[in-house]
Structure formats: C-alpha cells, structure tokens
Structure 1
Amino acid sequence: MSSPPARPPRRRPARRSAPPRPCVSAWPHRPVNPGEPRRAQGARRLRPRHPGRAGLRALHPAERLRHRPLPRGRRRLLHPPGRTDPHPARHRPRPRRRVRPRRAAAPGSGRGPLRGPRHAGRGAALRALCFVGLAFVQGPVAFTVVAACQAAAQSITAPVTQALVGTLADEGDRTRMMAVIRTVRNVGFSLGALAAAPLLLADGVWLNRGVLLGNAVAFVAAAVPVARLRLAAAPRPVTVRSPLAAFGAVRDWRYVCLTALNAVLALHMTLLAVGLPLWVTHHSDVPDALVPFLVLVNTVLAIALQVPFARGVTEPRSGARALRRAGLALAVCAALLAVPAGAAPAVAIGAVILSCVALTAGELWQAAGGWELSYAYAPEDRRTTYLSLFGLGTSAQDMAGPLVVALVLGVGSAGWLALAVVFVAAALLAGPVVPLLERRPSAPAPAEAASAAPTPG
C-alpha cells in the first residue's frame, strides 16, 4: 500500500510590518517626531501607563523617573481631549490663594517689612521694656542688671539704625539723613529734660516712675512705625553658623584702626560730660552756674549746625577730611583749657566758652566723618557686624574716657597740652586711613558697595 503523498510545508503568511509607534518621552518639552507638526506632536505626547506602587518597587530607579508626576501646566499636552487622566488627583489644579491687599508703604518703599526695620523696632521695644523694669526694680543688684540690659539695647540700636538708613537713603544723602536723625534726637533730648526736671524735683515715687514709664511709651510709639517700614528690595540672606563668628571682623585690622581713630576723636563726649564741669570746679574764680550754660551752648550749636556740617560729607575722601578737622578742633579745645588756675576770671570764662564751641565743632565733624567711613568700608554681607565693631570703639571711650580726663586734670596745664598733641596726631592719621582701607584685598570699593545696595523704588 502506497503512502499518501507528502504535503508541502505550510507557509505562514508573512506578517505585516506594524507602523512605527510614536516614541513616548518622559520629558514633554522634547520633540517626539521632529518631522511632524507641532499640533500632532502634542497629541502624541502620551506617558506610559502607571505601573502602580508594586510595579514601581520592581522597576529600576532610572525607570521610575518616567512615571513621576509632571507640573500641572503640562497636563494639556500629556492628556489631550478624549484621553483619560491616569492620575486625576495629582494633576487637579489647586485653588488659587487669595491675595491680600498690601498695606500702605513708606515713601521709597517696596515689597514688605524686612529684617532691618524689624530689628530696629525690636531694639526700641527692648529699651522700652528696660525702662519699665527700671521703674519697678528693687535693690542694687537688680538695678545694675536692668541698667546693663538697657545699655546693651542702646548699643544694639545704633548700628542697626545706621544700616537701615544706609539702605533707605542714596549714597550721597546717607550722612545727611543721619545728621537729621541726630538733630531730631537732640531736640527730643532737650525737650524731655525740660519736661522731666520739675517732676524729678517733686518728692513722689509714682512721679519718678511716671517719668520712666512715659519714656517707655515713647519708645514703643517710635518702634511701631519703624517696624512697618518697607524696603525696595530684600537683602541677601546671611547664614550665621555661630554667634562667635561675628568676631571674625576683628581680623580686619585696617577697619580696627579706623575704629580706634574714631574712638580717640569721640573723647569729646567725656570732655563735655566730665572734663568741662571738673575744669570749672577746679577754677575757683569761675562760677559753677557756667556749667549748664556750656551744656546749653553745646546743645543749641549741635541742633543748628549738625546738618550743615554733614552736607559736604558725601564720599570717603570728604569723610576723612571731616575727621581731620575734628581732630584739629578738639586740639584747639584742649589747648584753650590749658589756662592755669591763677588766671583772671574773664580770661578763664572766655577760654572755657571758646573751648566749648571748638568741642562742639569737633563733635559735629567727628560724627559726620565716622558715619561715612564706617558704612562705606563695611562689607555688604557683614555690614551690621562691622558697624557693631565700629560702635565698640565708642563704648571703649565711654569706659576709658573718664580715667583719661582724670589724669589730665591731675597733671594740669601740661596734661591738656599733651591731650592736644594726641588730637593733632589723630588728625594727621585721618588722611592715610582711606588709602589704607582701599587696599584691603577682600573689601569692595565704596562705589561698588553703594551700587550693590538697594535703592528706594
């Protein structure tokens, strides 16, 4: 029996080549098929189906990036009309936050209260709290602690206020604004002293407490508008790793030299408060009633001439000239006080009045030059720290000044002449201080620092 003929092998039909699928990209901003139109590319930009949590754990970390949710602005390209959104909860548009209306800003202000105004306001509030403590403190130890806290708050306020004024004012108007603030402060000091004098003379505990509490209320009233100031631009954030890092400014020996020079010229404060009254008491022919008259002359001249003396101080060179004039004026003051005790009463009275006038001129020039140079050569990112270091020179003068004045009075005329020589030396050293500070390797030039500072909008 013959076998059936073998069938020919069955040929499978050739598979039709499927059309190329569009490339699914995890980055929708990359073109899928550059040859297609933009509208067709947007329709093809589909992401692969999400594998779920279990599938994500099984994938390679590099593959998980393809399934991460994209910003809400890409949702229209990823899921065109007619397609279902695999993650509706993730791509649901969030409700817009209600924008609150901004408060009224100060002239030349911009975006909101920043750290500088807040720090100045907190310093004033802290001083108010200290005066409240002084009104109700009991015992010498507690009084010393509260008084020390008040002195610390006062020293903190000065550099913060100077930094805030430097941010609000233009480069050439910075020193004039500081002079205006000092003039207003002297006016308030004089009016407050006149108002408090009859209350302090009265015998009453609550009257004395009322004077201190009224001073605290005045500080609170001043802290509120200062804290609400708005600056034109936010300052660059500064990271402080440790409070001890602020002592790094001491390594800048050139700036320390400027601080020491200013501390020597700031001796006029001790001369007015201690030197002139003791000089008057040492001269028996000079009436003691001349002491309040000298204080009045100093106050009136400081109020009337502080702004005119600071008007020409607009850059570091003029600041150095102001310090030089301050040293020469204080030298004239010390030389006039070298009048011997046996001099005629008219000569002694004329000498002490002229010395008070020269001392006031030195005070005004020293303040203007110190403001300009201390701010111009303080680095922008550590400006408050450098200004605090500059203020330490004044604090050192407050501690060592009475001792120096006592030594000068003990020596007599020779001591006043020696002090005049010291002031002349300080005036001569004020000239090289600007080139010395400009040669610092890491310090920016004053023009660059001023251009980098925010200006009022």
Structure 2
Amino acid sequence: MLAVALVDRVGSGLWASVSVLYFTYVSGLSVAQVGTLVAAAGAIGIAGAPIGGRLADRFPLTRVLPTVQLLRALASFALLTTDDYALLLAFTAVGALGDRAASVLTRLYATRIAGPDRVRYQAVQRTVANAGWALGGLAAAAALALNTSTTYQWLLAGDALSFLASALIILRCAEPPSPSRTIATSKNPGRTTETANPWRDRTYLAYVATETALCLHDAVFKVGLPLWIAHADSAPHGLAPLLLVLNNVMVVALQVPLARFGATTTAARNLLVPLSAVFALGGAAMTLSATGGPLTATLLLTAAAAAFTLAEILHATVSWELSVALAPTTAQGAYLGVHGLAQSAQRSVGPLAVTAAIATGPLGWTAFGATIGLTCLIQRRIVRDRLARTPLSVPAVTVSEQ
C-alpha cells in the first residue's frame, strides 16, 4: 500500500499546482467561476468520507478502493473532454467525492493491516505520500516552463493515469481482516449487520468537531502564511514558497521518528498537552513577526512555520490513534468515515478562520493559536471521559501485503 500512496500523490502533485491555471487558461473560466467551481466541488466532496467508510464495512477494501480510484481517473479524463461549466463542475465534484473516499479507505487499510502498530505504519505512509507530492510538484513546475495548453492537459492526464496505476497495485494487495464483515458473516452469511452508528454517538461527534479545529494547520500554510506575508510591510514576499518547502521537509524528516510518542492510546491522549502549547507558540510567533524589520520578520515567520508544522506532525500522530481507539471495532469504516469530515470541513472553514485572524491584526494570530490550543485540552477531556466509560481497543492484526 506504500506504493499506492507514492503513485497516487505523485499524480496529485502534478495536478494540484496547476488546476487553477488549467481552468483559467485551457477551459477559459473567469476568476469567479474558478472559485465557485472549487468551492462547490469541495462542499460536495465532503460526503465522500462517510460514504467510503460505510462501503468499507460491507465490501472488501481491495475492491472498494480500486473502484474509487477508477472513478477518480474517469473524472479527471472527463475534464479533458469539455469546457462546459456545468460539466466541469460535475466532473470536479465526482473527483472530490473520490478523493475524500480514497483518503478514508487508504487510512482504514493501514489500520486493519497494521493492527497495534498502526500509528507507525501511518507515519511511514504519510512520509511516502509527502515525498510523492513533492516529486509531482517539482515535475509540474518544470513542465510549466513550457506554458502551453497541451502541457496543462498532459499534467491532468498524468494525474488520471496515477489513479489507474494505483488501482492496479491495490488489486494485488492482500485483503486485511474486517471485524465488521467477519462478525456479520458469522451471524448471517452474505449479509452485513450494522452494530454501531457514529451519527448517534454524541461523544464521537464532539471529538470530530474538535478535530476540525485541530486541522486548521492546513489552512495556515495554504492561505494564512501567504496572505500574511503578502500584506506585511517587513516580510520578504519570496519567503512564502520557502516556508512551504520547510513544511514538506520537516514532515518527511520527522513524521516517522515522532510517531513513537503517540503509539498507544494513553500516549496519544497525553500528547494533546504539548500539542496545545505548540499551537499557541505558533500563533504568538506570527503576532511577533509584525513587530520588527525584515530579518526579525523572516526569523519569526520561519519559527511560526516550524511550530505549525510540528503541530501538524503531532496532530496526525494523535489523530491516527484516537480516531480508531474511540471507534467500535465492528464499525471502523463508518466511524473513520465520519472522522474524515473534520478534514473536509476544515477545507471550508479554514480559509475563513485564518483570514479572520489576519483581518483582526497581529493579535488575531495569538487568539487563533490560543483557541486551537484550548481545543486540544477540550479534546483531551472528551477522550479521557470516553475511555474511562468504555475501554475500546483494536485487536492485533498480522497480515502480509502481497
């Protein structure tokens, strides 16, 4: 499955950096049309996570995931066939649905096949995925030097082909045991019985709500830092892409080594305390970056980027463990599908949150970091109370990948 993560993300790296340019220069859309298309497709794509999770509780993962990848490939190829706005919106929305579903399904595969070692497996997988994304982005940057419509079309085709390739790889992977499907089969062969419903689990829904706030580190790098630097009087504008590089390098270098600090449920819950402090420090560094000259601003913005990247790494570790530990083993797919809504929702509210921090002024960033830090402590309380009432765990799984 690591090969799947690499191939998939190489393709995503090819497309992510040029999608807006493709819709602008190849499809001929206006700025408003592009913004509406991306926002609408993202909103529709939110449904992909819970749908993918439910399907995974009923059917083999090594059949559901290739189907989703094929859907993504067809949606990408379909974009090449038309400039009609309605069709472009429909195809982009289908691709967004597949993207969110694939994210949950890939994570669920790692959870089932790695068993108690799931946090380290996820860390390795995320490191490989980030490396793939960087390779795709570099290839896209090199191709953009040609600046032709054909170049954009080939990059989109490369994204589609990466989904097809990953689907073929998945078909050769071993199917990990699924507690939900195993239990259902033993009771009534050929039929899956629903044993838990995450939509009725108020504690888990509260946990997912706090996760939305903790995912805001993503919006900091995609929107917050670039906008803050662009409107700052002292910070060099060329710093923004360098901080994105720093983010990617730190994730690749530190995700696996730091994963050991959240390898158990208790460790992951305790990690929320230092995570709270890191978020607060990142916000404070952003505030202080407005108080000095170019050198001071550069150093403090670099420190802020490093802090938010560390928060990203620690949060990923905590999230991998707690999202599974809080879910009944008989409904892992459904629960992780609902958990996937946190990242999807963040894509909508994240830009609003960071622009609000910028509009408030330097102290807005302090409030931003402190608010997320407080949310970490609230999540720790939610998790503690849940585990105290119902000790949930995931049984060990030992299945080799073919």
| TM bucket, shorter chain | 0.7 to 0.9
Root mean square deviation, CA, Å: 2.2
Q: Which has the larger radius of gyration?
A: 1
Q: Choose the corresponding residue for 2:121, options 174, 177, 187.
A: 177
Task: Name the counterpart of 2:95.
Answer: 150
Q: Choose the corresponding residue for 2:210, options 242, 261, 271.
A: 261
1:178-217 to structure 2, matched below 5 A, reads 178-217=122-161
Cα offset, 1:178, TM superposition: 0.7
Cα offset, 1:198, TM superposition: 2.7
Aligned AA for 2:161?
V
Task: Name the counterpart of 2:170.
Answer: 226
Task: Name the counterpart of 1:315.
Answer: 264
Residues 1:291 and 1:386: Cα distance change in structure 2 (over 3 Å)? same
In 1, distance between residues paired with 2:277 and 2:174?
A: 41
Identity %: 29
Paired residue secondary structure (2:395): helix
Task: Name the counterpart of 2:361.
Answer: 412
Deviations 1:56-93 (A, max 9, x none): xxxxxxxxxxxxxxxxxxxxxxxxxxxxxxxxxxxxxx
Q: Choose the corresponding residue for 2:307, options 358, 382, 389.
A: 358
Cα offset, 1:342, TM superposition: 5.3
Query: Which aligned segments of 4 or more residues in structure 1 are displaced greater than 4 angstroms?
Result: 238-241
Aligned AA for 2:231?
H
- The answer to whether the aligner puts 1:162 opposite 2:111 as a matched pair is no
Task: Name the counterpart of 2:345.
Answer: 396
Kindly indicate whether the alpha-carbon contact (under 8 Å) linking 1:326 and 1:365 is maintained by their aligned counterparts in 2: yes
Cα offset, 1:201, TM superposition: 3.6
Q: Choose the corresponding residue for 1:455, options 374, 398, 402.
A: 398
Paired residue secondary structure (2:110): helix
Aligned AA for 1:385?
A
Aligned AA for 2:158?
G
- The answer to whether the aligner puts 1:123 opposite 2:68 as a matched pair is yes
In 2, distance between residues paired with 1:362 and 1:303?
A: 14
Kindly indicate whether the alpha-carbon contact (under 8 Å) linking 1:329 and 1:358 is maintained by their aligned counterparts in 2: yes
Q: Choose the corresponding residue for 2:85, options 137, 140, 145.
A: 140
Paired residue secondary structure (1:450): coil
Structure 1, unaligned runs of 5 or more: 1-113
Structure 2, unaligned runs of 5 or more: 1-58, 186-190
Task: Name the counterpart of 1:51.
Answer: none
Residues 1:344 and 1:373: Cα distance change in structure 2 (over 3 Å)? same
| TM-score, scaled relative to structure 1 | 0.69
In 2, distance between residues paired with 1:185 and 1:384?
A: 21
Residues 1:195 and 1:387: Cα distance change in structure 2 (over 3 Å)? same
Aligned AA for 1:421?
A
Kindly indicate whether the alpha-carbon contact (under 8 Å) linking 1:323 and 1:370 is maintained by their aligned counterparts in 2: no
Aligned AA for 1:154?
D
Aligned AA for 2:119?
T
Kindly indicate whether the alpha-carbon contact (under 8 Å) linking 1:326 and 1:363 is maintained by their aligned counterparts in 2: no
Cα offset, 1:395, TM superposition: 1.0
Kindly indicate whether the alpha-carbon contact (under 8 Å) linking 2:289 and 2:300 is maintained by their aligned counterparts in 1: no
Paired residue secondary structure (1:169): helix
Kindly indicate whether the alpha-carbon contact (under 8 Å) linking 2:215 and 2:343 is maintained by their aligned counterparts in 1: yes
Cα offset, 1:340, TM superposition: 6.2
In 2, distance between residues paired with 1:342 and 1:327?
A: 24
| TM-score, scaled relative to structure 2 | 0.78
> Quick one: higher RCO (CA 8 Å, sep 6+), 1 or 2?
2
In 2, distance between residues paired with 1:439 and 1:306?
A: 29
